[in-house]
Amino acid sequence: MKNLKTITLLIITSLLFFTSCEKEEDGFVEEVKGEQKTENTVIEVTHNYTYKNEKFSVVYTFDTKGEEVLKVEGNIEMAEEVFGKENPEQALYFPIKEAESKDVIDIVVFDSFEELKRYQNEEENAFVNFQSQKNKSFCYDHTVNGEATVRFYHDIFLQNEMTFIRQNNISFRQDFDLGGLNDRLSSFEVRKQFGSTTSVYLFEHGCFRGRSYTFNFMPSVAHAAVFDLRTATLSGWWFWRKSWNDQASSFRVWDR
């Protein structure tokens, strides 16, 4: 009888020991898997610039976690010449032909927003001028109904929508002052009809002033997004460890 009790005790002890070891092993496996799931925060983004018909490229190694440029390669001398000078009206133009975001970005650089408008389309320039003539002040909000929809977000990858400035069913919209949403825009998306072109203009300051960024969504795109404005430069600020993220103070949307 004593032997039976002894054997039973040994079996129970062994089971407890193996169960404990198994739990510890499972915990270790989960921890290792967790480490393996850690994402690499360092990315490479190539910008193909065009300035006054001259083309040059710059490759940025960017730490998305620390929001810092770690390395810059390519035609740096040309980039410093174009972006290093003081130009508070500099305008960048992004032609978007595909729905998915890319690590290669095409950018056309202009010395002013007026120069960009002449390049893009005289029709837009005439339309905005006509609307301005009907208003004594340059700073005003205006909406024309249409078929495009634009949604703006506080964070990258379309997180935390700024619902107060969502634009539904418009062909033209301008907002000269973002108020409490000033300098908080990090990503946005556009839904439109195939065959139309939608431009989203972001301005550094209120009343459509300062440096500007124009994202042109081409006729072949019906739904597209700019997922991370950190990958777009603002007058070469990446050389000084800054980006266009959280910089917009006014905007226009034009669908035609």
Where do the domains of the chain lie? 1-36, 86-255
What's residue 39's pLDDT? 64
What's residue 69's pLDDT? 80
- Let me know the angle formed at the C-alpha of 43 by 42 and 45, rounded to the nearest 5 degrees: 150
Q: What is the DSSP letter of 52?
A: T
Measure the CA–CA gap between 75 and 92, rounded to whole angstroms: 18
What's residue 170's pLDDT? 92
- Phi then psi for 105, rounded to 5 degrees? -120, 130
What's residue 29's pLDDT? 29
In this structure, are residues 159 and 123 in contact, taking their beta carbons and an 8 Å threshold? no
Please tell me the number of Cα atoms within 13 Å of 232 on its side-chain side.
Answer: 29
Given the candidates 3.30.390.50, 2.60.20.10, 1.10.1740.10, 3.40.50.2300, the CATH classification of the domain at 86-255 is: 2.60.20.10
Parallel/antiparallel/unpaired status of strands 167-175 and 159-161: unpaired
Task: Decide: helix, strand or coil at residue 40.
Answer: coil
Query: What predicted TM-score, i.e. pTM, was given to this entire model?
Result: 0.74
Measure the CA–CA gap between 224 and 114, rounded to whole angstroms: 26
Q: Which residues of the chain have pLDDT under 70?
A: 1-39, 99-101, 122-138, 233-244, 246
What's residue 147's pLDDT? 92
What are the helix and strand counts (H, E) for the chain?
Answer: 4, 13
In this structure, are residues 247 and 234 in contact, taking their beta carbons and an 8 Å threshold? yes
Measure the CA–CA gap between 158 and 189, rounded to whole angstroms: 8
What's residue 14's pLDDT? 41
